[in-house]
């Protein structure tokens, strides 16, 4: 492993966290067919593991945003570059994020989806990272809470690298 990567959550710990989230979601959406919306690209591995663990009737869609800014500093301007395909009016929608950092992305997505009149709109994030939070977004289901640090692995990238790693790492 590259020396500037420090493991913070092993594949086994992630597996346990996904199991816990799936239990909560399965209980809360019993009898419903939720639409899970993955936020590209970072959430693709988490979403894939989550839906296979859920083992319940559901549908999947994707949304993609870019936030403008330099480096890892967001400017607060969130733009949707790929919208969902589904009609979500009166649907039970669950947004699936890999990580919530400043909250700007999630806030933008939430407002965009809320305007389409879903029956319910909730958020599941694998990692809730709070040190740089700028907007008070509500996360209904979160796997890990971390204070700070740049995370990579399990779908998350550092300059497009490391998405393939099965664990979650801090980039030093
Ligand atoms: C990451 C992550 C969230 C967003 C969170 O995406 O997947 O969508 O940043 O940051 P925020 O709370 O500060 O808005 P990123 O822009 O790195 O794109 P990617 O998922 O394609 O890697």
pLDDT of res. 55? 95
Q: What is the pLDDT of residues 95-123, one digit of tens each?
A: 999 999 999 999 999 999 999 999 999 99
Our mutation pick for probing the ligand 1 site, out of 98, 107, 126, counting the most ligand atoms within 8 A of Cβ, is: 98
Which pTM value belongs to this model? 0.94
The response to whether residue 99 sits with its C-beta less than 6 Å from ligand 1 reads yes
Question: Measuring CA to CA, which residue among 63, 38, 22, 17 is closest to residue 168?
Answer: 17
Question: Measuring CA to CA, which residue among 111, 110, 124, 105 is closest to residue 29?
Answer: 124
Whether 101 sits among the annotated catalytic residues: the reply is yes
Query: What is the spatial distance between Cα 86 and Cα 161, in angstroms, rounded to a whole number?
Result: 31
Q: Which atom of ligand 1 is nearest to the CA of 156?
A: 22
The response to whether residue 103 sits with its C-beta less than 6 Å from ligand 1 reads yes
Question: Residues of the chain whose pLDDT is less than 50?
Answer: 70
Rounded to 5°, the CA angle 45-50-51 comes to 105
Tokens 């009149």, residue located: 117
Number of domains in the chain: 1
**Residue range of the domain that includes 70:** 5-171
pLDDT of res. 73? 55
Query: What is the spatial distance between Cα 70 and Cα 22, in angstroms, rounded to a whole number?
Result: 35
CATH of the domain at 39: 3.40.50.2020
For residue 65, report the distance from its CA to the centre of ligand 1, in Å. 8
pLDDT of res. 67? 78
* Catalytic residue selected from 49, 98, 101, 128: 101
pLDDT of res. 107? 95
pLDDT of res. 100? 97
pLDDT of res. 78? 87
Per DSSP, 148 falls in state S
């Amino acid at each position: 492993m590259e020396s500037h990567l420090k493991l913070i959550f092993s594949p086994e710990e992630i597996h346990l966290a996904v199991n816990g989230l799936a239990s909560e979601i399965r209980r809360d959406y019993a009898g419903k067919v939720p639409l899970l919306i993955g936020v590209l690209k970072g959430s693709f591995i988490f979403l894939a593991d989550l839906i296979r663990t859920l083992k319940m009737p559901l549908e999947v869609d994707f949304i993609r945003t870019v936030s403008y800014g330099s480096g890892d500093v967001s400017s607060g301007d969130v733009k949707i570059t790929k919208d969902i395909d589904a009609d979500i009016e009166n649907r039970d929608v669950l947004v699936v994020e890999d990580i919530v950092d400043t909250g700007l992305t999630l806030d933008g997505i939430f407002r965009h989806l809320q305007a389409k009149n879903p029956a319910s709109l909730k958020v599941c994030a694998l990692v809730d990272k709070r040190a740089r939070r700028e907007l008070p977004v509500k996360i209904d289901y979160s796997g890990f809470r971390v204070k700070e640090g740049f995370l990579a692995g399990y779908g998350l990238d550092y300059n497009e690298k490391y998405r393939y790693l099965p664990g979650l790492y801090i980039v030093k």
